[in-house]
Amino acid sequence: MPPARRRMIVGISGATGIIYGVRLLEVLRRLDVETHLVVSRAGDLTRTHETDLTAAELRALADVTYNPADVGAAIASGSFRTMGMVVAPCSIRTLSEIATGVTGALLSRAADVCLKERRRLVLMVRETPLHAGHLKSMLAVTEAGGVIAPPVPAFYTRPRTLEDVVDHTVARVLDLFDLESPSATRWGEPPAHEAGAAPDGPA
């Protein structure tokens, strides 16, 4: 029997942009999606630089958390059913592990499981500029069925704060799982802060 609640795996790697993973966890909780979180060691290091959250506070945002070295965890098995996985943010190292199938840690192993089980895998790759090796890894993941979704801001929504930018990006990622974020702003619809007015920027 399928699980009573929808399940989503969230991976947080060491790239800058941990706010995307934090916000994703917050929104998924509001949507009553059961979250399974794995944070790499580098991800925890980034947390200390970019947020005021403790390791415990970050993990408290998820329903279930895992040690990044526990390759025998539930999310490392295809028999553990989930909607899929988002890596937010996704470092180039994590991207490369997933692209090659050389998955020595739980985060990349869980992503590999999503690919082999034909479940949705979304990588919010945070790097620029990109060289040919990066692009080849992105192509390899795409050919394997994953989605490369860099956190690129949209300005037709007329964001006023950094939170507006993050919310829009997270909402677009959740669209890939047919999940409706309460903070989504869509083309042809008024921004949340401008009820009754349509955005006039390019699509």
Q: What is the DSSP letter of 159?
A: -
Domain boundaries, the chain: 7-175
HSE-CB of 183 using CA atoms within 13 angstroms: 19
pLDDT tens digits for the chain (203 residues)? 555 789 999 999 999 999 999 999 999 999 999 999 999 999 999 999 999 999 999 999 999 999 999 999 999 999 999 999 999 999 999 999 999 999 989 999 999 999 999 999 999 999 999 999 999 999 999 999 999 999 999 998 889 999 999 999 999 999 999 999 888 888 887 655 454 444 444 44
- Candidate CATH numbers 3.20.20.140, 3.40.50.1950, 1.10.10.10, 3.40.47.40; the one for domain 7-175: 3.40.50.1950
Q: Is the pTM of this model over 0.85?
A: yes
Note if the bond before 89 is cis, omega within 30 degrees. yes
Q: How far is CA 142 from the centre of its chain?
A: 16
Q: At what angle do helices 92-100 and 132-143 cross, to 10 degrees?
A: 50
Return the amino acid letter for 91: S
CA distance 127 to 70: 27
Token pair 């309460």 in the structure block, residue:
182
Taking alpha carbons only, the member of 129, 144, 126, 113 closest to residue 38 is 113
